[in-house]
Each structure stands twice: as structure tokens, then as C-alpha cells.
Chains A and B, each alone.
Chain A
Amino acid sequence: MRERWARRLALLTCLLVLGLTAAFAAVRNLPAVMAVASPLAVDPAAGEQADATLLAQGRQVYDQNDCAACHAIAGTGSPRSPLDGVGSALAPAQIREWVIGGDSVAEDLSPRALRAKQAYRSLPPEQLDALVAYLSSLKD
């Protein structure tokens, strides 16, 4: 009997936690909230079309550096900061600033994200160029 009470309270706790986490996730993903929380500034700068080898190299850099741990492309990766269409929204120079956590974007990043991004400053320049070219190719 006492065992049954304990089981009921434990089950109730789990259901309560499940309900609240689901509510939390649902409220966070309401359409209105999503609209407010889309911060990327639109700057229709036309990036010139890079060649396929460079893009493939850029994609490789993206994979090797685990960019998908914080970003998503075409639904793959961490969905909070999707990069789909970033090439339409930002000019290549701006993309480079975001990748390496440059001064112009420092205020828009959390301290953790800034630290993580500044580590990419040590990437070989040709890899950085390839990454920026690849990201610039992600058009809407």
C-alpha cells in the first residue's frame, strides 16, 4: 500500500515534468515568438558564384570543425541557429565576421559563443576562405 503511494507520486512527478517540459517547448516555439527571435539582418549582397571544388572544400571545413554542434543546414545539426539562406542575408565579409567572432558582431554573441568562434581565427586562411564561400552559397 505504502509502496503504491510512492509509485503514484513518482509517476505523477514524471507526468508533471513531461507536461511542463512539453509546455515549455511549445510556448518557446509559438509562431509569434519565432518571429521576434529571428535576428539576422537582411542585407541582399550578391555573392559571386564560387567554383564547386572551393564549395566542397568549405563544406569539409564546416564538417571538420563540428559547426553542426551549434548550427543547422537543411535541418541537419543544432536547430537553434540555422544557416539556410545565410548567403542571401549576409555579405561574405559579414559572414567572415560571424565565423570568427569579429568586433562588429561581438555584441550580438553570448560570451560563450564569442569564445568558441574566436578559436576559428586560427584556421588556415584558405580554409576560412573556403568556409565563407560555402556559407555564401547557401541562398534562399
Chain B
Amino acid sequence: MGNPDGGTTGRARAATWLAVYLLLVLAPLAILMVGAQPRPGGFWWDFALALGYAATGMFGVQFALTARFKRATAPFGIDVIYYFHRFLAVGALALLLLHAGILLVRHPAATGGWDPRSMPAHMLLAWVALLAFAALVTSSLWRKRLGIGYDRWRRWHVLLAVGGLLAALLHVHGSGSYLAAPVDRALWIALGAFWLGLAVWVRLLRPAWLRRRPWQVVSVRPECPGTWTLSLAPRHGPVPAYQPGQFAWLTLRAGPFAMREHPFSFSSTPTRAGTVSFTIKELGDFTRTIGSIAPGETAYVDGPYGSFGIDRQPEAAGRVFIAGGVGIAPVMSMLRALADRGDTRPKWLFYGNRVRERSAFADEIEAMAPAIGLTVVHVLLEPPPGWQGETGYVDSAVLARHLPAEVAGLQCYVCGPNAMIRLAEQSLVALGVPLRQVHSELFDLA
């Protein structure tokens, strides 16, 4: 996958989790092979039925991908997991449509007809599952185009996912085409219980755990127009250990069961104990309320997560940071940590913003730069009159003007919008940085 960071052990861990993933995906097909086999029904019949089992299995695996298992996601980075979650859903839906299409075209009499009032219950459930999964995929791929708010989308996402999988599992039980033997049936029930158990873990058990560990808002301060830094501390006990560059799921003005959590990178550094900070830009419904949050309010922090950060490449000869807009948050976390540790290895920060006034932390960055050997390059899309610095996007021309000729030992950290990450990756590789030394964090998962 993208960047199996951390050398051989990281790669071995990544390979292990890939194997676990493949086992989970193929488990439904393995169950079909266990026990007494029913009579064959012709190639297309058996192909279509097996596809149904496999697609259900792939949708089940989606619950594991989003269950926030730190160990499983760490070797890959959470953004890769979410990309993968999205592509796998499209693939699973395609297989599911193939399953339904083959049966409807070749064996219409065996599919219970089109009238919901007269079809058997398990066929009604098949349609419920198909529609739920189709709605799930379309509402996610085109959420913004359809004008669905993030919070509403997330609640529906969980409902449709759990409802769709439950309907699919019951459909499989009802039709029971390969589950005549009790052992097959038991294995299938166990697999279904495992997937639904993951949903119970993320939506009920984990929130229950979080509810017993409330945090409180310590301060809210504006960084620049439209951007706020929120500092928080646990009401009881110390701040959990985290690494600079990681992120957490933050819930404000709601309980942990309400599914109102949003992912934000820490902008604070673990080298300064007591509180953590998130720097948040007003972008959507939730982030627009940040400025009205008052000190003392209760918050819930689920984290840390993510594999983005300097501590995974301690041996770097030098570091390049590329941040776009509020993508500066995890970069601030890393720069502050490096400053506190007295790190003097050469560093570059390419900081892209639309206008100068929106460059959060500009003063703090300038102040710490000399002590930590940091070269700061502001790149503005709409420069003010008389601007002498870089303009446009952070591309290979901008990078080449400031980076040394020898870049092979540099580790690069990119955080910003998707288009910026792509351009930065291409540009750095074009300059001779090995791709495995380019680490990125997408700041808009939704």
C-alpha cells in the first residue's frame, strides 16, 4: 500500500494485516466449500449465488475497515484505509448488482417476482439490502453534490450499513442455498455476528468507554479569520500519549453515542504536557460553531489515530513540510515537537494559502524558524500588491527553487486538500525524492 512506513517491521506488519484482510474477504467463499454440497444448478446459477455470498462478505469487511483498530490501520495510514473503504464499497456493489442481474435475467422464476406483497420474506430482504447498499454508495460518493450535511450523512451511513448488512444476512439465511448443513449455517451466523459485533463495538462499546473519560475545553482562541484553536484537557487523569502529526475524533456539544465526532489533527505537541490542541477551520456545519464554544464545556476525544508524523522516520537527514490552509495543524504539532527537542537538522516549510491574512501561525513559525534550521516559503494564490514571494501552487518549480540539489535523504510530510497532495507527491518524486519518503495526510475524509 501507499507508504508502509517504518522499514521491514512496518512492511511485515502491513503484509500480516493484508493477509488477515484477504482471509476475511474470502471467508464467505470458504464457508461454501465446507460440509455437504447441494446439487449444482448450472454455472451461472452457482456463479451468481457465490457472488452474492462474496459481496455480502465484502460489505461485512467494511465494518472492520472503519472500526478504528489502531494496530490494523497504523501500517497504512487512516486516509488509505478510507480511500480503500470507498473503492471496495463500489466493487462490492458492482458484484452485488451482477449477482442480482444474473439471477433476474437467467432465472426470473426463482427470484420471487416483482411484487413486494407476494414475494417471500427473504426476497423482500434481498431488495431491501440491494437498495440500502446502493443508497449507501451513492450518498457517499456524491454527498456534497446531493447537498447532504456531514452529520446527517453519517447517521444515515451507519443506519443504512447496519440495516443493509442485516437484511443481506437474513436474505442469505432465508434462501439458504449453500447452508443446508448445520456447520455451514453456524459458520455463517458466526461471520455475520462478527461483522455486526464490529458495529456494536464502534457505536456502543467504544462510546461507552469514552463517556467515562470526559474532557473539557480549556481555551478557544482565533488564529486568523475563520480558524480557531481549541485546547482541551481530560477532566480526570493525564493526556493519553500521542505522536506529533496524529489525529483524534472530537465530539463537542453532544454525547459520544450521538455520532457527532469529527476527525482533527493535533496542532499541539506531546512535548508540552497537560492539554492538547486542535486547530479548526470553519468549513462546514460543525466547524462553523467552533467560535461559540466556551471554556469549561464538555468534550470527548477518541484517539490518537494515524501514522502521519516525524516519529516514524527518526533517522531523516532533513525534513520537508508542505501544508495547505488548515493542513498546517499537524505540521505545527511536528514543528513544535522538533523545536522542543532541539532538532537542528535542515527543514523546509512550503505553506500554501489563498491570501496572507489566512496563514495561521505565521508569526510563531517565523519566530521558531532560526533556532531549528527552518526555511519558510509562503506560497500565495492571491498575493497582495508588491509580494516578492512565491505564488500559485506548491509545484516542482517552487520546490526546486528552495530545496537543495541532493534530496534523496529528505523525508517529506504533506497535509492539505487532495489536489495539493497529488501535486506535491508528483513534484517531489520528479525532483528525485523516493515516493516512500513522501508521507501525506488528507484533511477532508468526508
Chain A positions within 8 Å of B, measured between CB atoms, are 1-3, 5-7, 9-11, 13-14, 16-18, 20-22, 24-26, 28-29, 33-34, 37-39, 66, 68-70, 72, 76-81, 110, 112-113
B157-180 contact mask (Cβ, 8 Å, vs A): 1 or 0: 000000000000000000011001
A78-B87 in contact (CB<8A) = no
B83→A25 contact, CB < 8 A = no
Cβ-defined contact, A6 with B46, below 8 A: no
Indicate which residue in B3, B109, B422 contacts A76 across the interface (CB closer than 8 Å): B109
Do A25 and B2 touch across chains, with their CB atoms under 8 A apart? no
Chain A contact surface mostly: helix
Closest to A77 in B: B109
| Contact B107 A77, beta carbon cutoff 8 Å | yes
Whether the pair B47, A22 counts as a contact (CB closer than 8 A) is yes
A to B CB contacts below 8 Å, 6 in the list: A6-B87, A10-B91, A16-B22, A24-B47, A79-B42, A80-B39
Cα separation A93 to B32 with both chains bound (whole Å): 35
The 5 closest A-B pairs by CB, nearest first: A2-B2, A10-B87, A6-B83, A25-B47, A25-B46
Contacting A at CB under 8 A, from B86-109, are: 86-88, 90-92, 94-95, 107-109
Q: In the docked arrangement, what's the CA distance between A113 and B176, Å?
A: 10
| Nearest A-chain residue to B425, judged by Cβ | A1
Asked if A21 and B54 make an inter-chain contact with CB atoms under 8 angstroms apart, the answer reads yes
Q: Are B95 and A14 in contact (CB under 8 A)?
A: yes
Q: Which of B38, B39, B92 has the most CB of A within 10 A?
A: B39
Contacts of A24 in B (CB 8 A): 29, 32-33, 46-47, 50
Residue of B25, B87, B112, B177 with most chain A CB atoms under a 10 A cut-off: B87
| Min C-beta distance of B171 to chain A, whole Å | 13
Chain B 252-273 near chain A by CB (<8 Å), digits 1 or 0: 0000000000000000000000
In the assembly, what is the distance between CA of A112 and CA of B42, in Å?
22
Q: With both chains docked as a complex, state the minimum distance between the C-beta of A21 and any C-beta of chain B, in angstroms.
A: 4
Chain B: interface residue count, which band?
Answer: 35 or more
Do B29 and A21 touch (CB < 8 A)?
yes
Q: Determine the chain A residues whose CB is within 8 A of the CB of B29 once the complex forms.
A: 17, 20-21, 24
Query: Residue B60 at the A interface, CB < 8 A?
Result: no
* B90 proximity list for chain A (CB < 8 A): 10
Interface flag for B26 (CB, 8 Å): yes
B47→A1 contact, CB < 8 A: no
Contacts of B299 in A (CB 8 A): none
| B58 pairs with A2, CB closer than 8 A | no
Question: Within 8 Å of chain A (Cβ to Cβ): is B84?
Answer: yes
Question: Within the assembled complex, what's the spacing in Å between the Cα atoms of A29 and B58?
Answer: 25
A1 to B426, CA, bound (A): 8
With A20-B26, A69-B110 known to touch, is A6 a contact of B84 (CB < 8 Å)? yes
> Which B residues between 42 and 96 are near A, CB-CB below 8 angstroms?
42-47, 50-51, 54-55, 58, 77, 79-81, 83-84, 86-88, 90-92, 94-95
Most chain A beta carbons < 10 A, residue from B18, B25, B55, B91:
B91
Contact B25 A17 (CB under 8 A): yes
| Docked-complex contact A2 and B109, CB < 8 angstroms | no
Q: Decide if B87 touches A34 in the complex (CB within 8 Å).
A: no
B1-51 interface with A by 8 A CB criterion: 1-3, 18, 22, 25-26, 29, 32-33, 37-47, 50-51
Complex Cα gap A72–B42 (Å)? 12
Q: Is the CB of B46 within 8 A of A28?
A: yes
Q: Decide: B40 and A14 in contact? CB cutoff 8 A.
A: no
Residues A66 and B120 in contact, CB atoms below 8 Å apart: yes
Shortest A107–chain B CB gap in Å is: 13
Given the complex of chains A and B, what is the CA–CA distance between A11 and B43 in angstroms?
23
Besides the contacts A33-B40, A79-B107, what 9 more A-B pairs have beta carbons closer than 8 Å? A2-B83, A3-B422, A16-B26, A18-B51, A20-B26, A25-B43, A69-B109, A76-B108, A80-B41
State A25–B176 Cα separation when bound (angstroms): 17
Contact A11 B87 (CB under 8 A): yes
Q: Is the CB of B50 within 8 A of A21?
A: yes
Q: Which of A22, A69, A110 has its CB near the most chain B CB atoms (within 10 A)? A: A69
Q: Which residues of A contact B109 (CB under 8 A)?
A: 68-69, 72, 76-78
The reply to whether B42 and A29 contact each other, CB–CB distance below 8 Å, is yes
User: B440 within 8 Å of A by Cβ?
Assistant: yes
Specify which chain A residues have a CB less than 8 angstroms from the CB of B41 in the assembled complex. 78-80
| B180 and A25 contact, CB distance less than 8 A | no
Question: Residues 109-136 of chain B: 1 if any A CB is under 8 Å from the residue's CB, otherwise 0?
Answer: 1101000000010000000000000000
Q: Which residues of B contact A113 (CB under 8 A)?
A: 180
The distance in angstroms between the C-alpha atoms of A67 and B276, with both chains bound, is 65
CB distance from A19 to the nearest CB of B (A): 11
Chain B residues within an 8 Å CB radius of A25: 43-47, 50
A21-B54, A79-B45, A80-B40 known; A1+B91 contact, CB < 8 A: no
Q: B47 contacts A6, CB within 8 Å? A: no
The answer for the CA separation of A25 and B178 in the assembled complex, in Å, is 12
Q: A17, B54: Cβ atoms under 8 Å?
A: yes
Q: Are A2 and B79 in contact (CB under 8 A)?
A: yes
